[in-house]
Amino acid sequence: MYTLITLVLIATTLSLAIKNRRLRRAREHVSNQFDETTLILESLRDGLIETDSQIVATRVNRAAENILGIEASQIVNRPIDPEKQSTEVDQTLAKVLYPPKDAKPETGEQYYSYDIFLTRPKEMKLRIFTIPKTNPHSKILTGYIKIIRDVTIETVVEKHKSDLVSIVSHQLLTPLTGIKWIFKSLLDGDAGTLNPKQAEIIKKGMQAGESTISLVSDILDVTKVEQARFAYKMIPHDIVPFIREILNSRKEKANVKNINIQEQLGISGKDVVFDKERMSIALGNILDNAIDYSPVGGAVAVALQTDGNNMNISVSDKGIGIPATDQERLYSKFYRAENAKRVRTSGTGLGLYLAKHIVDDHGGSVRVNSREGEGSTFTIVLPIVGLPGASI
């Protein structure tokens, strides 16, 4: 009997010993994993704040402390009211943890980013990337990861680069415009009658000059857009006369290819808030593309419709269309679809980039519906005066 009890006790002791050993190994494994994760987080140059689903910080790395000038003990487990902050620390954390209302996810990505400006511990510009955390099984949101990147120096360098481009472009515009008018004067016969061959050569020179002026102007506009230096004059306008003005400015260009511009402007008396000069660039660039990539003798239709709180200006053509693989990159700077390059070798790839930036700045959007070989329809969507989203 005693032998049996002894064996049971020995077996129980061995079992407990094995379990304890396994628990110790599990603790060591978890501890090692934690140490490895901590080591990785602490080695990052970017700041990192991990939060729960209520946006309360649960972990902060040393880089975040250094960038913000705030100790982790003042950040972790500290709820921050996005509407009311009583201290400078709370104000800083509210800017970092809560994105502005207009922040949107990056195209095709699961995260979104926004920039903030701080004056303490020094003046700096920070870019905050917000990545949602979800349970891999239930897909329930469990929190967020905030990556904090100091882009102050990058911003200064980019500004100097843009300023240089702007100065050079301005200096180029004056002589190029002078050359253009000299060519025009020669074509008009101000320096004597030209023979057909001379006139043809000068005409080609004038066309090259106009293309270069257009390129330099686009680069200047891009510089202004990227530095947010477009001086928008947001005034209510009757949309129909504005569109007709743009169409009239493109008639000569359309006539060269015998393209018929069809108006479908059945709406009148509708005011839309926009900057006339800047929106002329946006709509003009889209209309230019429709003409450039339409066949000789084709047609371009410009229609105007209301859609709830918005006014839609659509430009349709039966031209080369846009391959599906190129449509995601249409609004990228300097990007041109492969079939567009084959049809028209010249072109900056800045027209749609500018159009989208300008329309976005008006609180609107640009949409495209296109199939290769069947044509394209670009639609500018703008909010109507007095309705939600109409003010900038």
CA 344 to CA 349: how far, in whole Å?
Answer: 11
What pLDDT is attached to residue 301?
92
Percent of the chain exceeding pLDDT 90 equals 12
Asked if 252 and 363 sit in the same domain, the reply is: yes
Beta bridge partners of 317: 300, 376
- The answer to whether residue 391 scores a pLDDT higher than 50 is no
- The answer to whether residue 286 scores a pLDDT higher than 90 is yes
Helix ranges, 188-274 (H): 196-226, 239-249, 251-256
- Residue 389 inside a domain? The answer is no
Asked if 220 and 272 sit in the same domain, the reply is: no
- Residue 361 inside a domain? The answer is yes
- The answer to whether residue 388 scores a pLDDT higher than 50 is no
Asked if 100 and 79 sit in the same domain, the reply is: yes
- The answer to whether residue 378 scores a pLDDT higher than 90 is yes
Asked if 349 and 275 sit in the same domain, the reply is: yes
Establish whether the linkage from the previous residue to 121 is cis, with ω within 30° of 0.
Answer: yes
Overall average pLDDT of the 127-135 stretch: 88
- Residue 372 inside a domain? The answer is yes
- Of the candidates 244, 286, 262, the one whose C-alpha atom is nearest the C-alpha of residue 377 is 286
What pLDDT is attached to residue 379?
93
- Residue 25 inside a domain? The answer is yes
Boundaries of domain holding 174: 155-226
SS3 288: helix
Asked if 146 and 169 sit in the same domain, the reply is: no
Q: 64 versus 42: which is more confidently predicted? A: 64
Percent of the chain exceeding pLDDT 70 equals 77
Strand runs labelled E in the chain: 47-52, 57-60, 112-118, 124-134, 141-150, 235-238, 260-264, 271-274, 299-307, 310-317, 365-371, 375-383
Asked if 202 and 63 sit in the same domain, the reply is: no
What pLDDT is attached to residue 392?
35
What pLDDT is attached to residue 389?
38
- The answer to whether residue 24 scores a pLDDT higher than 70 is no
Length of the chain: 392
Overall average pLDDT of the 208-217 stretch: 78
Asked if 137 and 217 sit in the same domain, the reply is: no
For the stretch 103-121, pLDDT in tens is: 666 544 567 788 888 888 7
- The answer to whether residue 32 scores a pLDDT higher than 70 is no
What pLDDT is attached to residue 246?
92
Asked if 189 and 73 sit in the same domain, the reply is: no
- The answer to whether residue 156 scores a pLDDT higher than 80 is no
Orientation of helix 196-226 relative to helix 351-361, angle to 10°: 40
What pLDDT is attached to residue 308?
79
Q: Residue 190: pLDDT band by 50, 70, 90 thresholds? A: confident
CA 390 to CA 392: how far, in whole Å?
Answer: 7
For residue 239, what are the CA distances in angstroms to 146, 160, 276? Answer: 43, 38, 10
Asked if 282 and 359 sit in the same domain, the reply is: yes
Mean predicted lDDT score pLDDT of the chain: 79
Overall average pLDDT of the 56-72 stretch: 90
Structure tokens belonging to residue 180: 């253009």
For the stretch 217-243, pLDDT in tens is: 777 777 767 665 556 788 888 888 999
- The answer to whether residue 386 scores a pLDDT higher than 50 is no
Q: Residue 387: pLDDT band by 50, 70, 90 thresholds? A: very low
Overall average pLDDT of the 338-344 stretch: 74
CATH assignment of the domain containing 107: 3.30.450.20
Asked if 60 and 195 sit in the same domain, the reply is: no
What pLDDT is attached to residue 231?
65
- Of the candidates 153, 100, 156, the one whose C-alpha atom is nearest the C-alpha of residue 128 is 100
Asked if 83 and 122 sit in the same domain, the reply is: yes
Asked if 267 and 182 sit in the same domain, the reply is: no
- Residue 391 inside a domain? The answer is no
CATH assignment of the domain containing 252: 3.30.565.10
- Residue 388 inside a domain? The answer is no
Q: Which of 150, 173, 202 is the last residue of a domain?
A: 150
Name the amino acid, one letter, at 84.
Answer: K
